[in-house]
Amino acid sequence: MTMIGSLYPARLTHLISEEHTWPKLKKLELGLFETSEFQLADLLRRHASTLKDLRLRGEIEMDSGGSWISLLQKLKGFHMLEKVRIEGDLTTRAGPDTAEERWQIWERRFPITSIVLKDPAPWDLENYLLRDGLFPLTEDNMHSWGRR
């Protein structure tokens, strides 16, 4: 459901049961949802033997206590993936022991010398996850809350 200026995404567990496994799942495309780091990692782990193509799009918010940095480092170990496309706003709620995270991952439409250079692009994540690219999410390219 979309309201003017706001998105009310579904919980991942409302979209896919925590116990459900598709035995032949090859491509998974999800967007506009809230989740915990554990729930998303667990979903991907349950399908590790068949999943080849992962696409995460739009606003994806992780619960407090989770981290996109941690999740992507776990995904790096999922050697079954052949294609990955992650784009949109990746956010994490602050918790008692964790900070807020926010990255805007969008296709760059400007020359490499432009001001948006610090924003990671989808191919930066793909290069990290599928090849030996550098880890693209840093505190230097994180957006502060309320700024878009």
Phi, psi angle pair for 4, to nearest 5°: -60, 120
Specify the pLDDT at position 7.
Answer: 55
Question: Residues of the chain whose pLDDT is less than 70?
Answer: 1-8, 109-117, 145-148
Specify the pLDDT at position 61.
Answer: 93
The neighbouring-strand residues paired with 91 are 61, 102
Residues 6+ apart with CB under 8 A from 60: 9, 30, 31, 32, 33, 34, 35, 88, 89, 90, 91
Phi, psi angle pair for 90, to nearest 5°: -100, 115
Q: What is the DSSP letter of 65?
A: T
Specify the pLDDT at position 110.
Answer: 59
- pTM of the complete model: 0.84
Give alpha helix (H) positions in 22-136. Answer: 37-46, 68-76, 122-130
Query: β-pairing, 53-62 with 10-11?
Result: unpaired
Q: How far apart are CA 127 and CA 125, in angstroms?
A: 5
What does the pLDDT look like over 116-146, one tens digit per residue?
A: 457 889 999 999 999 989 999 998 889 875 4
